[in-house]
């Protein structure tokens, strides 16, 4: 028999991956799951919900038909790891890597974040059968995370007991887990509750996944494996909650037809089309509208609850109201370059698509919501990376807290309060931010766009949609010194052709050229041209003192001095940007 049905304990696969016995074929894509997806996977295991089948190839080091790679993070956690695969994961990589990440905790930033995260189980929530909120994650540089540690790598058991939480790293070894549970955690609950909680936790050790195993025959015919893999990825279409809603509400509103009408029946709804990248198949947008509608009526936006919506909540009249408010009150404001710095390139510069849900819900529930408070909430979410995981729960929490804040100035939402505290304590930094997709990176560029930046060499040309993300201190100029050229603090918006001109120059060289262009084009004095250049740079968060640093930084300087100038420039630019962030979240200097 070529394909066998069976089961394997998912934790056995995780531990085999740690030892290099479970690996991936090199044609597998990178790990792309976000925090929320990892949390939901763990919640499903705790709740004993089916998480899908795994397609595996039984193999060996000698007969393996492909170049193999380790599960992401395995080499960091186990420096002595050796490739000795007995199993290749053909379908199930994302799920397996997600659980590996949670349990072995490699120092790798997750998608749309700048920082590695640690995952925990809230025992109190678990004792209340609240699986949806039982799993949470914390960035490893967070003060709360650090408060849980004894040193760099070990957790303080007393602190964990105080919080009634356990780290996922405790699940690496069943013996150690059991000893820790009975010695330290069992007595946090009465006997029956403790027994129930332990039974839920044990599911992580004993959860079986269904496996379809390709036998040894396939090792000799790799072309068949690749063909099977391609078919799986081509036909593996997930039925979404939106699809279920379309089917369920057909008698009350033809959701699919209504969505398509926005695209095909008229030339209006420019902003909605922009949000959907002009793609009618981008059904996450109408789904987010339905979530916003449910949220505005104080209903849960979790998938399992949205399916239970009634026709009084979702109907043709309510849909039309959502579409009208989204197009004419929300998105037109949100996409204004001067208001939020997003502009035409929504897909590129919108920090989170999910931030639309509560923002729209505020306008659905309140005729005149407090925009000053909404804006403070908005920027706190963006710069704290708040929506990179557990999104639905955080959105509902934020909506409740911001709504309360509208009527009570003292009821500052937790996300605003916590981010203000990070700023006050000088913990917040942008110096490590270089992941283009993160909300921190996008947020900085939003602030830039809000200042209406002009190109260095063609400041009269205000084709903002042509401005692109480029270096201030060119990467080629910094290549011989130890400097992070790609961090967001060394990047700004200029034309591609301008970037090509300055890419091999020092800041001193291209500043000189900027001044000469001003003098020649406008027939003005050197001093006037210099002031014009300073005004251009000011819109890029570059002040006069930083201008002088750039003017001093030529190719003739010693490497050490170039490095010092670059670091000083970065320090000063970060301070300017943080000052702007402070004003946006309601903090005074």
63-82 residue pLDDT tens: 767 778 899 999 999 999 99
Strand 3-9 and strand 491-494: the pairing is: unpaired
Least confident of 248-252, 385-389, 397-401: 248-252
Percent above pLDDT 70 for the chain: 93
DSSP string, 456-519: SS-TT---GGG-EEEESS-HHHHTTSS--TTSGGGEEEE-HHHHHHHTTS-HHHHHHHHHHHHH
Kindly provide the residue ranges of all beta strands, DSSP E only, lying in 99-150, ordered along the sequence: 117-122, 135-139
Distance from C-alpha of 24 to C-alpha of 19, rounded to nearest angstrom: 13
R_g (Cα) of the chain, nearest Å: 27
Distance from C-alpha of 354 to C-alpha of 392, rounded to nearest angstrom: 9
Q: Is residue 93's pLDDT more than 60?
A: yes
Q: What is the per-residue pLDDT for 212? A: 85
Joined together, the tokens standing for residue 307 give 């399916």
Distance from C-alpha of 418 to C-alpha of 403, rounded to nearest angstrom: 18
Q: What angle is formed at CA 75 by the lines to CA 180 and CA 19, rounded to 5 degrees? A: 60
Cβ atoms < 10 Å from Cβ of 366: 13
Joined together, the tokens standing for residue 530 give 């210099």
| Residue ranges in 47-114 assigned as alpha helix (H) | 74-77, 93-104
Choose from 204-218, 261-275, 431-445 the range with maximum mean pLDDT. Answer: 431-445
Q: Average pLDDT for residues 253-268, to the nearest whole number? A: 84
Residue pair 272/262 in contact by the 8 Å Cβ criterion = yes
Place of tokens 């639905």: 392
Distance from C-alpha of 289 to C-alpha of 295, rounded to nearest angstrom: 10
Distance from C-alpha of 90 to C-alpha of 214, rounded to nearest angstrom: 10
- 4-13 pLDDT, tens digit each: 889 999 999 9
- 110-156 pLDDT, tens digit each: 877 888 999 999 999 999 999 989 999 999 988 899 999 987 778 99
Distance from C-alpha of 417 to C-alpha of 430, rounded to nearest angstrom: 19
Residue pair 322/289 in contact by the 8 Å Cβ criterion = yes
Distance from C-alpha of 248 to C-alpha of 443, rounded to nearest angstrom: 38
**Looking at per-residue confidence, does 291 or 588 come out higher?**
291
Q: What is the per-residue pLDDT for 12? A: 97
Q: What is the per-residue pLDDT for 58? A: 86
Q: What is the per-residue pLDDT for 1? A: 44
Distance from C-alpha of 110 to C-alpha of 502, rounded to nearest angstrom: 33
Percent above pLDDT 90 for the chain: 71
The contacts of residue 194 (CB under 8 Å, 6+ apart) are 185, 186, 187, 188
Place of tokens 């490699």: 106
Backbone angles phi, psi at 548, to 5 degrees: -65, -35
User: What separation, in Å, do the N-terminal and C-terminal C-alpha atoms of the chain show?
Assistant: 72
Residue pair 439/112 in contact by the 8 Å Cβ criterion = yes
Q: Average pLDDT for residues 431-442, to the nearest whole number? A: 93
pLDDT interval class at 235 (50, 70, 90): very low
Q: What is the per-residue pLDDT for 221? A: 64
Residue pair 121/43 in contact by the 8 Å Cβ criterion = no
Distance from C-alpha of 60 to C-alpha of 83, rounded to nearest angstrom: 10
Q: How far is CA 525 from CA 220, 511, 532, 543, 551, in A?
A: 77, 16, 11, 21, 18
Q: Is residue 336's pLDDT more than 60?
A: yes
User: In this structure, is the dihedral angle defined by the CA atoms of residues 476, 479, 481 and 485, taken in order, positive or negative?
Assistant: positive
Cβ atoms < 10 Å from Cβ of 308: 10
Estimate the crossing angle of helix 391-407 against helix 371-384, to 10 degrees: 150
Residue pair 95/52 in contact by the 8 Å Cβ criterion = yes
Structure pTM?
Answer: 0.74
**Looking at per-residue confidence, does 55 or 296 come out higher?**
296
Least confident of 289-293, 348-352, 360-364, 385-389: 385-389
């Amino acid at each position: 028999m070529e394909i066998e049905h069976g089961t394997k304990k998912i934790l056995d696969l995780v531990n085999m991956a740690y030892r290099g016995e479970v690996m991936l074929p090199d044609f597998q894509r990178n790990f792309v799951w976000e925090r929320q997806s990892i949390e939901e996977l763990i919640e499903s295991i705790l709740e004993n919900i089916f998480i899908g089948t795994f397609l595996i190839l039984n193999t060996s080091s000698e007969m393996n038909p492909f170049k193999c790679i380790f599960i992401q993070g395995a080499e960091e956690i186990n420096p002595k790891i050796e490739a000795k695969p007995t199993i290749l994961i053909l379908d199930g990589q994302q799920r397996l890597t997600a659980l590996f990440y949670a349990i072995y905790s490699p120092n790798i930033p997750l998608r749309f974040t700048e920082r590695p995260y640690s995952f925990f189980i809230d025992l109190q929530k678990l004792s209340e059968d609240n699986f949806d909120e039982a799993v949470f994650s914390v960035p490893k540089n967070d003060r709360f995370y650090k408060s849980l540690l004894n040193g760099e790598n070990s957790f303080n058991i007393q602190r964990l007991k105080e919080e009634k939480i356990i780290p996922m790293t405790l699940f690496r070894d069943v013996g150690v887990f059991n000893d820790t549970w009975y010695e330290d955690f069992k007595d946090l609950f009465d006997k029956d509750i403790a027994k129930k909680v332990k039974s839920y936790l044990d599911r992580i050790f004993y959860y079986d996944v269904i496996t379809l195993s390709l036998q040894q025959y396939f090792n000799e015919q790799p072309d068949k494996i690749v063909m099977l893999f391609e078919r799986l990825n081509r036909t593996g279409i997930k039925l979404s909650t939106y699809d279920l809603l379309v089917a369920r509400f057909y008698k009350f509103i033809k959701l699919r037809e209504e969505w398509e009408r926005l695209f095909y029946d008229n030339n209006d709804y420019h902003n909605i089309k922009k949000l959907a990248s002009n793609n009618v198949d981008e059904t996450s947008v109408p789904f987010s509208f339905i979530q916003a509608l449910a949220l505005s009526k104080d209903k849960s936006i979790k998938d399992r609850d949205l399916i239970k919506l009634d026709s009084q909540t979702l109907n043709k009249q309510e849909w039309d109201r959502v579409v009208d408010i989204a197009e004419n009150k929300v998105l037109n404001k949100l996409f204004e370059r001067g208001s939020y710095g997003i502009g035409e390139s929504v897909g590129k510069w919108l920090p989170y698509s999910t931030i639309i849900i509560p923002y729209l819900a505020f306008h659905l529930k309140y005729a005149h919501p407090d925009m000053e408070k909404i804006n403070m909430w908005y920027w706190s979410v963006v710069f704290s990376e708040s929506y990179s995981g557990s999104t639905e729960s955080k959105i509902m929490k934020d909506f409740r807290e911001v709504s309360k804040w509208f009527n009570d100035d003292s009821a500052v939402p937790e996300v605003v309060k916590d981010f203000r505290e990070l700023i006050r304590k000088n913990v917040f930094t942008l110096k490590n931010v270089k992941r283009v997709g993160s909300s921190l990176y996008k947020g900085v560029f939003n602030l830039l766009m809000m200042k209406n930046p002009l190109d260095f060499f063609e400041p009269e040309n205000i084709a903002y949609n042509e401005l692109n993300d480029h270096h201030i201190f060119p990467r080629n100029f910094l290549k011989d010194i130890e400097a992070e050229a790609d961090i967001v603090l060394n990047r700004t918006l200029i034309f591609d052709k301008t970037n090509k001109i300055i890419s091999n120059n020092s800041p001193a060289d291209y500043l000189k050229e900027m001044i000469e262009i001003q003098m020649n084009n406008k027939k003005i004095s050197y001093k006037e041209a210099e002031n014009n250049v300073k005004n251009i740079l000011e819109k890029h968060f570059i002040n006069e003192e930083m201008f002088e640093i750039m003017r001093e930084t030529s190719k003739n300087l010693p490497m050490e001095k170039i490095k010092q100038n670059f670091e000083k420039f970065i320090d000063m630019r970060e301070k300017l940007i943080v000052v702007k962030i402070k004003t946006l979240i309601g903090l005074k200097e």
